[in-house]
Structure 1
Amino acid sequence: MARSAKLITFADLYFSLVAALVQTVRLCRSQRLTWLLVEAITFLAYHLSRRKRRASEALLLKVFGRDLDPPRLGQIVRSSFRQFWLDIFLIPGTATWQKQARPAAIEGLEPLRRALESGKGAILWETSYFGRRLLPKCILNREGFAITQVHARYHTGGFGRGTATRFRRRFLQPFFENCEKPYVKQIVYLDGPESLAFSKGLAELLKSNEILCISAEGRQGRKFVPVPFLGQTVNFPTGVLSLAKLTGAPIFPLLCVAEKGHQIRVIIEQPIRIDRSEERERGLRTAATRYVSLLESYVKSYPEQYRNWHGLARLQQSTGHEHGGAPSRPQP
């Protein structure tokens, strides 16, 4: 990290409070306390974040139109705020997490196993904005899959990256990673804009038949392609697709949704194919469009479990039209 990095920011104090609450939940192992915290923080975030709430409502009305009546609209927005905090507090090791993880339904294990038999490794393409992020990796670990998690160098759990302060690097990042480390084989980092597509280290891991888990919405990268998503056009990074094309490793979209009654469903979708006969950029755009179309179908089916409605809406407002860059990290 650069020597000129700040020691601490106001955001770090906020993250520290969240970390303290998470640690409290882990130590007391109370399901009731977990749900009370999630509901209390959701209530505060929803009522104090008027701008985010209004932005979410505007985009939802644009996507669903007259199909959304006011009660349903409000329910979706509140639930999207709740989804963010569920992923933060229902971390591995808590009693509530253990209750949810045990009865989980898993779809797509056999295609993943068959892919590993080919010896080229596999890429799990997770989403940072929809459903649960930590839970599916914990469940897959229980099924015997050793996963290598790929993160940006200076990440902070599910929160925005912001300024990479020394305090965040030394205290906050290790805390959030320690919630994840027991359930992944290792964590590797991306250091620069070219790391994802051309990293020799990641290619070597795939050559060793490892499973890599990478966020599909990562903002690191040198090349992006425009793709339609929820009525807008977003710039989608092509690094993972380039890595898969280079190594021959299949890309499996990884999703995790909560059905009625909090029944957890982990879905490993069929691999995203990259047509090698197409011109390179066109092939990458076609594959990216397939993934984004798949994600959009899930978001429309479970809109209350998508936690970046406000981020997409702000993206449109900041550009003044329906075209923008990769969505920002949600921070309800």
Structure 2
Amino acid sequence: MGRARWHRKDFFLLAYIPAITLIAWCLPERLWTVVCNAAARLSMALHRSRTRGHCRKLTEILGERRTSLDVDEILKCYLAKNHLARVQCMQCYAPGGWSPHLRLEGREHIEHALAAGKGAVLWIAPMASKDLITKMALHQAGYPVSHLSRFDHGFSISLWGARLFNPLWTRIEERFLAERLVMSPSVQVSPLRWLIKRLRENRVVSLAANREGRKYPLTLPFLSGTIQLAEGAPTLAMSTGAALLPVFTVREPDGTYITKVEPTLHPATKGNTAKEVESLTKQYVQLLEFYALHYPCAYQGWRLSGV
């Protein structure tokens, strides 16, 4: 987890954060998407070589699979949704905050898990609205969630940039959490112990699906390419007996954000922890494929470096 003290993007953030705050506070919500789409198109036009490389990568990942969008449009959505999530976050600081239309589907799966008495592990999928809106939906539904996070979650990935800029992001998210347990370069084990304690108390915990957390994350086929996923969520579920619930957040055409809690994942084989974890991860990847193809504009797991 070695990080540079500063990253060149930190200097960009000095202008970027005030700009998105002005957009959030001064423009009506219906124009946020328009502005973010325009910013995405401008970025693609200014970085043509990188844009061509990303489009090639998307084409390779999709292979023979088809979505409702071509690769140029998927890339534009990928960029625009990143901007939009940050605009939404900064709007929460405005007088009156931000109150989107939210709906939680599949809460019966959480209730069933809690009725079993061993807690629930929510495995949050890499969708555009996974960070803030997923937490809002669970909070609105009355679930106090303990979330495992990283010190570089937010605007910056550098050591000092994370300290300066990332609290602007995490302070908003923490309004909708019971607690945020942070993994940092110097603190790795204790947050995981607290997650285990919360599950033993029959609570709800959440982890984002990513490729961090292990030196060698699990690599599995994904569409016509591969995907790397850390095994933290399924390993935690297997070690505690908690239910493992995939969670996806998407936006409907009418503007409503729907957080979908999928049924509990069960390993195809028993008796070998490594094979159980791999089986659960494979099932999760199948769900990721479904959502990536059906909601390509919302899926943020394409792993486009440099974006």
Using the size of structure 1 for normalisation, the TM-score is: 0.79
Note the C-alpha offset of 1:273. Answer: 1.7
Query: 1:27, CA displacement in angstroms?
Result: 4.3
Following the alignment from structure 2 to structure 1, what is the Cα–Cα distance between the partners of residues 265 and 190? Answer: 16
Assess if the C-alpha contact under 8 Å between 1:149 and 1:213 holds in 2: yes
Contact 2:63 2:223 in 1 (8 A): no
Q: Deviations over 1:133-161 (max 9, x none)?
A: 12121022111111122111x2141x562
Letter in 2 for 1:240: A
For 1:1-332, list aligned pairs within 5 A. 6=5, 8-25=6-23, 27-28=25-26, 30-31=28-29, 34-62=32-60, 63-65=62-64, 67=66, 72-91=70-89, 93=92, 97-98=98-99, 101-102=100-101, 104-128=102-126, 130-133=127-130, 134-152=132-150, 154-157=151-154, 159=155, 161=157, 163-164=158-159, 166=160, 168-191=161-184, 195=188, 199-274=192-267, 277-309=270-302, 311=304, 332=307
Secondary structure at the aligned position of 2:147 is classed as strand
* Overall identity of the aligned pairs, in %: 22
Partner residue in 2 for 1:325? none
Asked whether the equivalents of residues 198 and 243 of structure 1 are also in contact (C-alpha less than 8 Å), the reply is: no
| Cα distance in 2, alignment partners of residues 105 and 194 from structure 1 | 35
Q: Superposition RMSD on alpha carbons, in Å?
A: 3.2
Unaligned residue ranges in structure 2 (runs of 5+) = none
Q: From the superposition, tell whether residues 171 and 213 of structure 1 become closer, same or farther in structure 2 (CA, over 3 Å).
A: same
Q: Give how far 1:186 is off.
A: 1.4
For residues 48 and 210 of structure 1, do their structure 2 counterparts lie closer, same or farther at Cα, with a shift above 3 Å needed?
Answer: farther
1:188 CA drift (Å): 0.6
The C-alpha deviation readout for 1:155-182, integer Å capped at 9, x for no partner, is 141x562x32x2x243212111112111
**Deviation for aligned residue 1:96:** 9.6
2-structure distance, mates of 1:171, 1:198: 22
Counterpart AA for 1:272? L
In the alignment, the residues of structure 1 paired with residue 199 and residue 78 of structure 2 have an alpha-carbon distance, to the nearest angstrom, of: 35
Asked if 1 retains the 8 angstrom alpha-carbon contact of 2:21 and 2:87, the reply is no
Deviations 1:218-276 (A, max 9, x none): 41225532211121233322122111111111111111112223332211111222357
**TM-score, with length taken from structure 2:** 0.84
> 1:61–1:68: 8 Å Cα contact kept in structure 2?
no
SS of the counterpart of 1:274?
coil
CA contact (8 A) 2:104 2:141 kept: no
Count residues in correspondence. Answer: 302
Question: Is the deviation greater in 229-238 or in 204-213?
Answer: 229-238
Distance 1:246 1:275, change over 3 A: farther
**SS, match of residue 38 in structure 2:** helix
